[in-house]
Amino acid sequence: MRKFTALFALICLCLWMLFQAPALAESRSMLDYKVTPEVIYGQGDVIKEDGELDDLNLWMDVYEPLEDTEEQTEEKPRPAVIFTHGGSFHRGSPRYTYDEGGAQDTSPGDYCRKFATRGYVCFAITYRLIPDNPVASDYPPDDIDMTNLILLIDQMNKVRKIMDLDPLDPSDPEDMKLITDGVLSAAEDLRTAVNHIRNSAETYNIDPERIVVGGFSAGAITTLNVAHGMHEPVAAAFMMSGGILGFDILNTVTESSDSPPILLFQGQNDLEAAFVTMPILIEHYKKVGVPYTFAWVPAFGHFYTSGATSLSGDGSKMSVDQRIMQFLDQIWEDL
């Protein structure tokens, strides 16, 4: 009877450990970082319904590790990642997860949790959206190219329909200005975040020379516009399912420009804009010597999770988040 009781107790203990392990792992991971929500990093100009100019507060969620890794200590500041969300320049937030057609992505907040547990300080930012009626600065006409909007307007209007907004017409000058201001103001806001974070390096215990920008969809386009369009001095960039829109990268990125290395992701069944502009972007990078890495996400469309498998030309197979980490590890080795 004692043997049976001992065996039964052992079985119960094993079952308890089996079902408690994920919960304990999640509990442990929650102790590895802290989150400071809705930190104001700047303001952006918007036009209110009455036509008056107003300042919109721009905020970010900050994810900071609580434990030192072998590489990072208080004496050695941490690297930083600034993550910009997607949403066709119309919707989304650092905490929003998209679920469309049975496919789901990973929110910026969830990416930041992964980065924080690896020793990074991660900033998931908001930015002015087209429904905010943003006001962007003026730029030299040769630096701006909105011709690829024709490839994105259907997706943009699909989102507007979900939001009960009237469709936009690129042939209408007022609509075109609204879209252009939306794309450019998003880049301006990311640049503001980069500068705020760089100027607050001591506050966040980060290395201002190791700031990385990355994002998904509209956030990926914004990342490209800041890193290679505005030439903001960042250490590296990664973009998931983005393209060329806003700054004319073929004009702003030259052999003499100081363009940081970039990691590019594209879903196997991604949006048309990715299939049209990504080959152009890669060919230009080859021509002018910008270090880049390209990876496919097979069997997925525009939306995919951080754990989805990615394949690259070097024959490697790893999850999206693993590839980002590997890319950044290589960047730090080369610095």
pLDDT per residue as tens digits for the range 210-258 = 999 999 999 999 999 999 999 999 999 999 999 999 999 999 999 999 9
Distance spanning both ends of the chain, measured CA to CA? 66
Q: Nearest 5°: phi and psi at 201? A: -55, -40
E runs forming strands in the chain: 33-47, 53-65, 78-84, 99-100, 103-104, 121-125, 144-145, 206-216, 236-240, 246-247, 262-267, 292-297, 309-312, 317-319
On whether residue 189 sits in a domain, the answer given is: yes
The mean pLDDT of 76-84, rounded to a whole number, is 96
The verdict on residue 276 lying in a domain is yes
18: in domain = no
Strand pairing of 292-297 and 309-312?
A: antiparallel
pLDDT at 19: 37
Question: What is the number of helices (H) and of strands (E) in the chain?
Answer: 9, 14
Residue 9 pLDDT grade (very low, low, confident, very high; cuts 50, 70, 90): very low
For residue 19, give the H/E element and its range. helix 2-30
At residue 14, does pLDDT exceed 90? no
CATH (domain of 316): 3.40.50.1820
Q: Is residue 7 part of a domain?
A: no
The DSSP 8-state label assigned to residue 77 in this structure reads P
Pairing status of strand 262-267 against strand 236-240: parallel
Structural domain range at position 317: 37-334
* Separation between Cα atoms, residue 117 and residue 24, nearest integer Å: 15
On whether residue 154 sits in a domain, the answer given is yes
Mean pLDDT of the chain: 90
Residue 21: inside a domain, yes or no?
A: no
Give per-residue pLDDT as tens, 134-169.
999 999 999 999 999 999 999 999 999 999 999 999
**Residue 239 located in a structural domain:** yes
Residue 120 Ramachandran class (φ > 0 left, ψ -120 to 50 alpha, else beta): beta
Give residue 8's pLDDT. Answer: 45
Q: How far apart are CA 42 and CA 188, in angstroms?
A: 11
pLDDT at res. 12: 46
- Our count of domains for the chain comes to 1
Both tokens assigned to 163: 């939001």
Name the β-bridge partners of 199: none
What's the confidence (pLDDT) of residue 45? 98
The beta-carbon contacts of 194-199 under 8 Å, at least 24 apart in sequence, are: 194/82, 194/226, 194/232, 194/234, 196/41, 196/42, 197/41, 197/80, 197/82, 197/123
Distance CA(234)–CA(198), nearest Å, equals 10
Over the stretch 259-304, which tens digit does the pLDDT of each residue have?
999 999 999 999 999 999 999 999 999 999 999 999 999 999 999 9
> pLDDT, tens digit, for every residue of 20-77?
333 333 333 455 899 999 999 999 999 999 999 999 999 999 999 987 655 444 568 9
Residue 26 lies in a domain: no
